[in-house]
Amino acid sequence: MKKMRVRLKIWRQESPQVKGHFEEYSLNDILTDMSFLEMLDVLNETLTKEGKRPVEFESDCREGICGTCSLMVSGQAHGPVLGATTCQLYMRTFDDNELISIEPWRAKAFPVIRDLVTDRRALDRIIAAGGYVSVKAGPHADANAMLVPKDLSDRAMDAAACIGCGACVAACPNASASLFTSAKITQLALLPQGQPERKRRAINMVAQMDKELFGSCSNLGECEAACPKRISIQNIAIMKQEYMKAALAADFRAGMGSADGGA
Amino acid sequence: MVPLKRLFTSTLGRKYLMGATGFALVLFIVLHLLGNLTLYSHNGDAINAYAAKLDMLGVGKIILEIGLVITILIHIVTAIQVTFTSKNARPIPYESLKSKGGPTKSTLGSRNMIITGLVLMVFLIVHIVQFRFGPEIEDGYTATVNGVMVHDLYRVVAETFMQLKWVVFYVGCMCFLGVHFRHGFWSMFQSLGMINPRWSKPIYALGFILAVLLSVGFLFIPIYIYATQGGAA
Ligand code: HEM
Ligand code: FES
């Protein structure tokens, strides 16, 4: 198997309160077929053996489905490969002895907890503000009782591919969460199950997004390029329509901004 | 009215304002260029006749002008708010932040709309002072079109563009207009949610074509006048 040398420049930060700094490391004998996170595992084993504190980073499934891994690799969210998460990135992508910088996602809404780990609960709070459908649980409904046109279900499923990793925010020069929020609004707005809460959902999720102090969308499209699931900024256009319709709907104005909403 | 106020202070609402005022400005600037094409004729009669027609709108013209100023002010104030919201959203910058390419529309121009915009703002002030509030009939700037005495706007323009420094200033500013317009045209459709997958690419391409046509159409006016009459002054 082929081996390579790696030089790393990693952001180290003890806690949210203290200032962080970069530290440099170098590794020999990294297999080119290792994943990026396996390479970091090797680094951490080395550091542990030397009695030093390992580099904190997040991962869970390591197969691109959970959205936990979240590294800014040499200035690009999830590294240079389009449509892939950090855990799907392989060392053969890099040159031998290349200097790779690793930073945490940077946004006011994503405070650093330690090293490369950030608090991304702001995204959860946006979902909690309306990214769900309320159902009366009862007997299992018949399959095909509710018909959905194929093109709409396709578009809804494309939006639903979002794994909530936050790469859109991380890559956006404005640190805007528009792609995430719009995907969560669109996936429900296009389906019959999402209709009853449609207006309230758009209003409340956008209000929560603003409350978390994310930036404003300038239509740069960098989020779509960074998204490991290739979610289109078309969803942002749909969010703009949803929000405008909801805000202009007279019957709704009275309830605007109430997060609990009633029903 | 409180809900509407809330609407326009949300990040999405601000973009509706940017997009709507952007639309109005695009419409204005296209008409403005079409009108200014009269400057490419060999003498001042065409532009003077055109200006005289506009003056006949009387109060209507003043109202349009005030509307335009309000539109620009909303555009600028919102642009500054939008920019600050985004700057505050990332207090600690990345050491390196690189575009991932692919479908991105992130370019030096699109990331710096506020810079090209502020240059345009300075330009607009200079431009309005120079031509809208420039020498009038009372200052002896008169011409005769079809036997009627009118304001010689052509002379005001020509005297400016006989000076190389103003030619350079205008040409430079029109390049900034082109860059601003290149992202702005596509962006305003997206900001208003007026885009679908089929139209996204054509609209983005049209933005480029219009940006080139507009900036080149405008910037050749001073060059043309300087080239044909520069020595005469
Ligand atoms: C002739 C003048 C102008 C025209 C035709 C024009 C046109 C446009 C258009 C069409 C947009 C896109 C709107 C959107 O993204 O929804 C835009 C965006 C923008 N304009 Fe202008 N504009 C002009 C002058 C200015 C001026 C004077 C400023 C001064 C600050 C400015 C600042 C901006 C900014 C910052 C944006 C981007 C906002 C964002 O981040 O999304 N523009 N402009
Ligand atoms: S660890 Fe689950 S997506 Fe990367």
Are the C-beta atoms of residues A115 and A11 closer than 8 Å to each other? Answer: yes
What residues line ligand 1, using a CB cutoff of 6 Å? A 218-219; B 15, 18-19, 22, 25-26, 29, 75-76, 79, 82-83, 113-114, 117-118, 120-121, 180, 184-185, 187-188, 191
With a cut of 70, which residues of chain A have pLDDT below it? 250-263
- For the stretch A166-219, pLDDT in tens is 999 999 999 999 999 999 999 999 999 999 999 999 999 999 999 999 999 999
The two tokens of residue A78 are 């999830």
B1 pLDDT above the threshold of 80:
no
User: Mean pLDDT for chain B?
Assistant: 94
Task: State residue A247's pLDDT score.
Answer: 86
Task: State residue A254's pLDDT score.
Answer: 54
The two tokens of residue A240 are 């703009």
Fold of B4-89+108-228: 3 helical TM bundles of succinate and fumarate reductases (1.20.1300)
Could B90 and A101 be called an inter-chain contact, meaning their C-beta atoms sit closer than 8 Å? no
Could A175 and B92 be called an inter-chain contact, meaning their C-beta atoms sit closer than 8 Å? no
Note if the pTM is more than 0.80. Answer: yes
CB < 8 Å & 24+ apart, contacts of B81-88: B81/B14, B82/A216, B82/A218, B82/B11, B82/B14, B82/B15, B82/B18, B83/B114, B85/A174, B85/A215, B85/A216, B85/B11, B85/B14, B86/A173, B86/A174, B86/A175, B86/A176, B86/A215, B86/A216, B86/A218, B87/A215, B88/A108, B88/A213, B88/A215
Task: State residue B3's pLDDT score.
Answer: 67
CATH of the domain spanning A120-257, picked from 3.50.50.60, 2.60.120.560, 1.10.1060.10, 1.10.3720.10: 1.10.1060.10
In Å, how far is A224's CA from the nearest CA of chain B? 7
Task: State residue A248's pLDDT score.
Answer: 84
Choosing from B26, B76, B108, B113 the residue with most ligand 1 atoms within 8 A of its CB, the one to mutate for a pocket test is B113
The two tokens of residue A123 are 């995204």
B138 pLDDT above the threshold of 70:
yes
Domain boundaries, chain A: 3-39+47-114, 120-257
Domain boundaries, chain B: 4-89+108-228
Task: State residue A138's pLDDT score.
Answer: 81
B183 pLDDT above the threshold of 60:
yes
Task: State residue A258's pLDDT score.
Answer: 45
Say which DSSP state B209 is in. H
Contacts of B100 in chain A (CB under 8 A): 76-77, 80, 82, 171, 222, 225-226
Compute CA distances A169 → A60, A81, A190, A239, B7, whole Å.
20, 17, 24, 16, 23
- Which of these, A182, A176, A164, A159, lies nearest to A240 by C-alpha position? A182
Q: Strand (E) positions, chain B?
A: 142-145, 148-151
Pairing label, strands A72-73, A21-31 = unpaired
Rounded Cα distance between A79 and A64, Å, is 13
Give me the mean pLDDT over the B55-78 stretch: 96
Of residues B97, B186, B200, nearest to A75 (C-beta):
B97
Task: State residue B6's pLDDT score.
Answer: 77
Task: State residue A262's pLDDT score.
Answer: 38
Q: Identify the band that residue B233 occupies on the pLDDT scale cut at 50, 70 and 90.
A: very low
Q: Identify the band that residue B7 occupies on the pLDDT scale cut at 50, 70 and 90.
A: confident
Pick from A123-127, B43-47, B123-127: least confident: B43-47
Task: State residue B232's pLDDT score.
Answer: 52
Superfamily of domain A3-39+47-114: Beta-grasp domain (3.10.20.30)
Task: State residue A251's pLDDT score.
Answer: 53
Pick from A147-151, A256-260, B91-95, B185-189: least confident: A256-260
In Å, how far is B71's CA from the nearest CA of chain A? 19
Q: Which protein residue's CA is at the shortest distance from atom 41 of ligand 1? A: A218
